[in-house]
Amino acid sequence: MPINSTVKNLFSKSRLLETGYPTVALNESELYSVFLIICSDLDWHTSRIGLNNAVVPLPNRNYYQIPLEWFSSHKETPTIQELQEVLSNGIDIDSDFGMYFLNFCSLHKRRLKFQKILQFQPKPTMDQVGPRGLLEYGICDNDLLNSWIIWRKWIFDIDNRSGQETGYLFEPILASCLGGEAVGSTNSPVKRIDENGKPKSTGRQIDCYIGAENLAYEFKIRVTIAASGQGRFGEELSFPKECKAAGIIPVLIVLDPTPSNRLTELAQAFKDNEGLVYIGEQAWEHLEDKSGEIMSHFIDNYIKPPLKTINEFDTSNLSTIKLTWETDKIVIQGDSENYQIDRYKENTED
């Protein structure tokens, strides 16, 4: 059966992550694995979407407990054409199947990409970081100081990349679950306003805009006292005012309910400008209600559990961590567990 262009385009978008280094393209084995997991998530028999001979057991029903290597381990898989037909079959059963597939692939691609970042991110050189040692020179042993400077620069670089990749992943997924889309400043219906409340020509980036409902969402994982500088926080406070000036309802979503003065202030700014505020469980409930039956499964399986688990961590009980840079790997040793990152000799630049 011919596959229509909409399904082909969705399949291609789901399969490829070409922006920024390193690029990622899911192969037939990985895509096949994705369909198997989605069927498990939705309690669908694989034959419903045309995988009549799918007898591969999942290592674990929890995606986050499945080794990434498993996804590429299948020797006999459907062809790309057949996998496109599988996607089309799923969409015929429920149109949200396509969005579930797209978001699942987005999550998996970003996780694969970050593993590559960990493997290839260059070790800093002393030329890059040497001057930073002036602030601590003589306070401790020189070799220890130099190692400390190298480690913290590499960790800083990795953390920056992690923040970027999480942002690229997190907001589009939530926007799609709500039935909207992220809007850049160039085409934004929300314009910045001057001190007199009059709109400027420059637009305001929107995390999720739903034109049919006249809603502009601002997503926050958490809002803490130290979350941003005063200038940045001023930008956040101005967003609901700018939405009101544009005749659009501002909506604040904060997933972590940890109280803070800034959270209270930000929530009040949205309310003062005829906006809506959802914090903690109310935020999760709103996302699930707006997402529909199938996409609410995605939130419950892939977004809510890891964020809630991470947010509940007691930072006063940090593990002791030992970092070791070996020839072919980095070893992160905790109190009883370790995490190994395979490294390659290629010193590929970003």
> Does pLDDT of 350 surpass 70?
no
> Does pLDDT of 224 surpass 80?
no
Q: What is the pLDDT of residues 271-305, one digit of tens each?
A: 999 999 999 999 999 999 999 999 999 999 999 99
Q: 216 with 296, same domain?
A: yes
Q: 224 with 264, same domain?
A: yes
Q: What is the pLDDT of residues 142-194, one digit of tens each?
A: 999 999 999 999 999 999 999 999 989 999 999 999 999 999 999 999 999 98
Is there a contact between 120 and 22 (Cβ–Cβ < 8 Å)? yes
Q: 37 with 110, same domain?
A: yes
Mean pLDDT, residues 24-41 taken together: 97
* Element (DSSP H or E) covering residue 252: strand 249-254
Within a domain: residue 173? no
Say how many CA atoms lie within 13 Å of 92 toward its Cβ: 11
Of 257, 234, 227, the closest CA to residue 163 belongs to 227
CA 93, 302, 297, 250 torsion: positive or negative?
negative
Would you call 18 helix, strand, or coil by DSSP?
coil
Q: What is the pLDDT of residues 89-129, one digit of tens each?
A: 999 999 999 999 999 999 999 999 999 999 999 999 999 99
C-alpha span between 222 and 224 (Å, rounded): 6
Mean pLDDT, residues 33-57 taken together: 92
Of 101, 103, 70, 66, the closest CA to residue 86 belongs to 101
Residue 312's pLDDT is 87
Is there a contact between 49 and 93 (Cβ–Cβ < 8 Å)? yes
Q: 90 with 35, same domain?
A: yes
Residue 231's pLDDT is 60
Q: How many domains does the chain have?
A: 3
Q: State which residues form the domain around 92.
A: 5-115
> Does pLDDT of 349 surpass 60?
no
Distances (CA, A) of 177 to 170, 280, 297: 11, 17, 10
Q: 272 with 189, same domain?
A: yes
- From the number of C-beta atoms within 10 Å of its C-beta (0-12, 13-18, 19+), residue 336 rates as exposed
Residue 119's pLDDT is 95
> Does pLDDT of 6 surpass 50?
yes
Provide the pairing of β-strand 206-210 with 199-203.
unpaired
